[in-house]
Amino acid sequence: MHLTAPATARPGARSRTRDADGMAVASFILGLLGLLVFNVFLGPTAIVLAAAALWRGTGRKGRAYLGMGLGVADLLVLLAFIQMDSTLSWSF
């Protein structure tokens, strides 16, 4: 008797979802950190990671959407500070 894998099981599908879940969590953390430091870099990075996680079918959709929202908020905070002091950098 020869046993084969079911037709629905794809090799690497589990690791792909796991990678997408990791990207969703990373986008959330980077978006959160971006509100405090390096928002010009961390904001777009959080947005890209969240979009990639959603595209790969993450199981943590809420965390990916939060990461994307925080990435956008990072850029809005940067824009607000640029408007206030006319420079690309800001400090506490």
Cα angle 23, 28, 32 (rounded to 5 degrees) comes to 145
Which domain range does residue 41 map to?
Answer: 17-85
Residue 76 forms part of a structural domain: yes
When divided into structural domains, the chain yields a total of 1
Say what the pLDDT of residue 39 is: 87
Q: Is residue 45 part of a domain?
A: yes
CA quadruple 41, 21, 56, 73: dihedral sign: negative
Q: Where is average pLDDT lowest: 6-15, 22-31, 79-88?
A: 6-15
pLDDT at 15 over 80: no
Amino acid letter for position 79: L
pLDDT digits (tens, 9 = 90+) for 52-62: 999 998 888 99
For residue 8, pLDDT over 80 is answered with no
State how far the Cα of 62 lies from the Cα of 9, in Å rounded to an integer. 26
**CA–CA dist 18, 29 (Å, integer):** 17
Per-residue pLDDT at 5: 47
Look at residue 46 and tell me if it is in a domain: yes
Residue 73 within any structural domain of the chain: yes
Give the integer Cα–Cα distance in Å for 86 and 25. 33
